[in-house]
Amino acid sequence: MKKHYYIASILVLLLSVAAIGAQLQSFRAYINGSWPVITWQMADERGVTRYAIERSMGNQDNFLEIATFNNLLGNGETYTYIDHDVLKASATTYYYRLRIDTSYGGNQSYSPVRSVEVNNNLVQQTWGSLKALFR
């Protein structure tokens, strides 16, 4: 009897995971002018509750959430985020990843990490810091 219970439990779990989908199609980070631009597309958004962009400055440790997307656009649509906060920092390499939150047990998955090189001069850093003061 227990054997059938375990097999049934495994089948339910596998069907639940299959129904969630959440298949990342693409994830890019690139520079447009002075700004890092993050884009992604999902082949399947079933079960996705929100997306979060995370950034790490100067290394691939200590990622911090910098933006969230709660409104889903639909399968195959392109999401875009422009990181306007990089001018206030002196780091030249920024690492980004996408966190995908799902409704199934509050699970999270992550995209591959992408990096961009930003060349901020002192004037851009000062301007970025001043803008941050007035937000």
Per-residue pLDDT of the chain (135 residues; tens, 9 = 90+): 555 544 444 433 443 444 446 789 999 999 998 889 999 999 988 889 999 999 998 778 899 999 999 878 888 899 999 998 887 666 688 999 999 998 877 789 999 999 998 876 555 555 545 555 565
| The token pair that represents 69 in the structure block | 């997307």
Task: Give the global pTM.
Answer: 0.72
For residue 135, what pLDDT is reported?
Answer: 55
> For residues 53 and 73, what is the distance between their CA atoms, to the nearest angstrom?
16
Sheet holding 78-82, edge to edge: 23-32, 35-44, 78-82
For residue 57, what pLDDT is reported?
Answer: 86
